[in-house]
Amino acid sequence: MILETLGSCVLVFLYLSQTEEKTKLSSDPAITTAIISSSYLLAVMIGYSMEVYCKFSLSSLNPAITLGQMSTQTMDGDIGATHY
């Protein structure tokens, strides 16, 4: 859950920082696109590291979905899947 929230925060922060004129790192659209796409990749990779410990697929980048998956697994009796 923590990794999912962290990945979402990274994605939203970098996206919003590149769409505002005052906080842009570069005026070149190609660099802005590269920063946004690399922030998405970073957020997915942060969530992907959780897959080693759990039965989750790739990161949904939505903590609410992850909480729902964890709750469903717990109610299904598979509490070991939510250990990490």
Specify the pLDDT at position 34. Answer: 92
Residue type, 4: E
Question: Residue 33 phi/psi, 5° resolution?
Answer: -65, -40
Question: Residue 78 phi/psi, 5° resolution?
Answer: -100, 65
Count CB atoms within 10 A of the CB of residue 46.
21
Specify the pLDDT at position 47. Answer: 67
Per-residue pLDDT in tens (0 to 9) along the chain, 84 residues: 777 778 788 888 888 888 888 888 888 889 999 988 888 888 777 766 555 555 555 566 777 877 787 777 777 776 665 555
pTM, entire model = 0.63
Enumerate the domain spans of the chain. Answer: 2-82
